[in-house]
Homo-oligomer: A and B are copies of this chain.
Amino acid sequence: MHTIATIPGDGIGQEVMPAAIDVLEAIDAEFEFVEGEAGEHVNDREGTPLPERTRELARDADATLFGAAGDLAADIILPLRGEVGSFANVRPARAYPGVDAVAPETDLTFVRENTQGVYAGIEADVTADTKTLTRVVTREASRKILEYGFEYAREHDAERVTVAHKANVMRKTDGLFVEVAEEVAAEYGMAYDEALIDALAMHLVARPEEYDVIITPNLAGDVLSDLAAGLVGGLGLLPSANVGDDNALFEPVHGSAPDIAGQGIANPTAMILSASMLLEHLGYDEQADDVESAVLDTLEEGPRTADLGGDASTEAFTEAVVDRL
């Protein structure tokens, strides 16, 4: 039996987490759920949005589900990613049936480096008027994400692998990333192409259907995956995985949505699909597929939540998903 830490977090995180748990309880697999606190309410009370006991929970669990965060997101999600040793942030972006999309043919996955780049967090006050940030790129971390990305592409029969970078400006740092990409691709015997992140931003908007798996440095992946979310109709529906060597964290790409929090109307799709990614990660491939299909069918046939023009509650949508399992 696997232990799953559940950390609802802020706002609608509190509402979509129960949806994911309902779904995981409805399938043919047994989990122990342990709930951890994080978020603004915890910060108000304890002076930190992510207490040590919650970190420990995530560290000790077989996998973690995280709900949503608001203004303190960086203080919660970045350390949590650290606790599970996440080196790969996996973000599928595809247009869902029944959902208005800018680019309905979009179906791609970002494999984003998740430990370094500008997120290494090394900043200095050189003077009161001059600040620096040290962007770090190592061969080891580059190799790790690139191997993961090519492996992911192989397992998912990707039609194309794209390695994103800005090595024409960040010559040494992204240069190293590009150099390792070439090595790893050769070891895997797989074709790939390189794309400058600026040109890629344009191409993704103009012809997203041409892309499949995109391996990116940390910040580029942050921006480009949100761009892709815009293409498929917003962050609302997209799940993500933060994958470590022997632990992982799954979370919707959306935030805490304070404007609709507490009303029981949030769309739990992203959270439930994150649970589906968790299932795949733990080896429950069949169940993962079942959950995904149940969500897609519900999106197509209804009932719909308010964000998609319906009036189903979070619970009603979730029930409809569970009924399809």
- Taking Cβ atoms with an 8 Å cutoff, the residues of A that contact B are 73-74, 78, 102-103, 118-119, 121, 123-125, 128-140, 166, 168-173, 175-176, 197-199, 201-206, 219-220, 222-227, 229-231, 233-235
Contacts and interface: CB of A to CB of B under 8 A. Distances in A.
Given A137-B131, A198-B226, A226-B199, A172 B125 contact: yes
B140 A136 contact: no
Nearest to A204: B230
Contacts of A138: 129-131
Contacts of A137: 130-133
B118 A170 contact: yes
Contacts of A125: 172
A234 B201 CA distance: 11
Contact of A202 (B119, B121, B235): B235
A204 B205 CA distance: 10
Nearest to A139: B129
B173 A131 contact: yes
Given A131-B172, A206-B234, 20 more contacts: A73-B168, A118-B169, A118-B170, A123-B170, A123-B172, A123-B173, A131-B173, A133-B170, A134-B135, A135-B135, A166-B222, A169-B219, A198-B223, A201-B223, A201-B226, A204-B227, A204-B230, A205-B231, A206-B230, A227-B227
Closest 3 CB pairs of A and B: A205-B230, A129-B139, A123-B172
Nearest to A176: B131
13 contacts: A74-B169, A78-B169, A102-B205, A118-B170, A119-B169, A121-B169, A131-B138, A132-B134, A132-B136, A133-B173, A198-B226, A203-B230, A205-B231
B224 A201 contact: yes
Contacts of A171: 123
* Interface core residue of A171, A175, A222, A227 (most chain B CB under 10 Å): A227
A201 to B, nearest CB: 4
Contacts of A132: 134-137, 172-173
A133 B165 CA distance: 14
B136 A134 contact: no
Contacts of A130: 136-139
Given A199-B226, A202-B234, A206-B230, A129 B135 contact: no
Contacts of A222: 166, 197-198
A223 B205 contact: no
A129 B220 CA distance: 21
A263 to B, nearest CB: 22
A224 B121 CA distance: 23
B206 A223 contact: no
Contacts of A203: 230
Nearest to A201: B227
B134 A168 contact: no
Nearest to A177: B131
